[in-house]
Amino acid sequence: MYQAKENRYEKMIYSHCGKSGLKLPAISLGLWQNFGYGSVFANAEEMCRTAFDLGITHFDLANNYGHPYNGSAEENFGRILDRGLRAYRDELCISTKAGYDMWEGPYGDRNGSRKYLIASLDQSLKRMGLEYVDIFYHHVFDPNTPLEETALALDHIVRQGKALYVGISNYNREQTAEISAIFDELKTPFIVNQPSYSMLNRWIEDDRLDEWTKENGVGIAVFSPLYQGFLTDRYLNGIAADSRIGKGNTWIGEQLTDAMLAKLSKLNDLAQSRGQKLSQMAIAWILHNPAVTTVLVGASRPSQIEDNVGAIENLSFTDEEIALINKILAE
């Protein structure tokens, strides 16, 4: 039976999510890839255990995570909990999301309706064997459902005791401000937005979403911090057959041009001068943004999680380093 390491909290950094009382680790584990039925269960279990032993308390899922079947990541995570991790439930922050296509018919397609959100969370709780999740997100903005309906559904879920906090994902600044105003009226514990963000994807800066969340006490949990593996050493010497691009599992393979490789090589040189891997510097750069609470990392093996957690050993940047990164990215 699994027993967590006694020193698991010694190195990880924990910060309040927005103005809430909930603290999240600087690095969180996302279970989007490599946790479904098409993955090796023993490896998925070892990744979760490795993460927790390193002080990662936040495990992020969604109803549609899991290859090749929607929901299979949650089912496997439920099995992982049953095999020793559930004993630490009160030390874990478990989140899940709903919003994308999930089941057949008009009530399970991509939407933010009351019917879909409440039914979806009930399914997620059953798959994981939980009475509640710590954070429940609306996964993607739905222009065809009134935001008030979505907000009221999330508020109802909290009042039912099925989630402690609520969040949103893939909402821009304007959409976030609009639903936040409704949550304020309802006094719903809305604490976090989950956008994509990385050195190669800085839309939240252009949109000023990060400014808005910082000013209004909402946390940011970043996904795709390594831009589908670009910001690692994976492609510096060509495309490996077992990489996402090599397997055809990513939509951005055509962006790996000679110009992009030149940028990545220069960024890698800078990372090495800082005593870091490129992936570690990329994560540290995200955490350098004061609006960001946590970075959600994915992994295909436990050693990648260990590498990513190593980013917290050097989170400071000189003005010269920031200027050089901006120069490289602008090339």
- Enter the pTM of the model: 0.95
Residue 240 binned pLDDT confidence (cut-offs 50, 70, 90):
low
**Is pLDDT above 70 for 291?**
yes
To 10 degrees, the CA torsion angle through 300, 139, 27, 312?
Answer: 110
Q: Give me the pLDDT at residue 320, please.
A: 98
Question: How would you classify the pairing of strands 163-169 and 190-194?
Answer: parallel
Question: Which of 6-15, 142-151, 245-254 is the least confident region?
Answer: 245-254
The answer to whether 289 and 213 are in contact (CB under 8 A) is no
Mean pLDDT of 103-117: 96
Please state, in angstroms and rounded to a whole number, the distance separating the CA atoms of residues 128 and 134. 13
Mind listing the pLDDT tens digit for each residue in 150-186? 999 999 999 999 999 999 999 999 999 999 999 999 9
Q: Give me the pLDDT at residue 248, please.
A: 59
Q: Give me the pLDDT at residue 205, please.
A: 98
Q: Give me the pLDDT at residue 326, please.
A: 98
**Is pLDDT above 90 for 59?**
yes
H helix or E strand, kind and range, residue 173: helix 173-186
Please state, in angstroms and rounded to a whole number, the distance separating the CA atoms of residues 60 and 31. 6
Residue 81 binned pLDDT confidence (cut-offs 50, 70, 90):
very high
Residue 112 binned pLDDT confidence (cut-offs 50, 70, 90):
very high
Q: Give me the pLDDT at residue 234, please.
A: 87
Q: What percent of the chain has pLDDT over 70?
A: 95
The answer to whether 32 and 47 are in contact (CB under 8 A) is no
Residue 22 binned pLDDT confidence (cut-offs 50, 70, 90):
very high
Please state, in angstroms and rounded to a whole number, the distance separating the CA atoms of residues 141 and 169. 8
The answer to whether 270 and 326 are in contact (CB under 8 A) is no
Q: Give me the pLDDT at residue 238, please.
A: 65
The answer to whether 129 and 100 are in contact (CB under 8 A) is no
Mind listing the pLDDT tens digit for each residue in 178-212? 999 999 999 999 999 999 999 999 999 999 999 99
How many residues are listed for the chain in this entry?
Answer: 331
Average pLDDT, the chain: 95
Mean pLDDT of 100-107: 96
The 8-class DSSP code of residue 171 comes to -
Residues whose CB is less than 8 angstroms from the CB of residue 296 and which lie 6 or more positions away in sequence, other chains included: 28, 29, 30, 60, 194, 221, 222, 223, 225
Residue 110 binned pLDDT confidence (cut-offs 50, 70, 90):
very high
Q: Which amino acid is at 287?
A: L
| Tokens 């039914």 -> residue | 119
**Is pLDDT above 80 for 250?**
no
Residue 241 binned pLDDT confidence (cut-offs 50, 70, 90):
low
Q: Which amino acid is at 85?
A: L
The CATH number of domain 21-194, selected from 3.90.245.10, 3.90.1150.10, 3.20.20.100, 3.50.50.60? 3.20.20.100
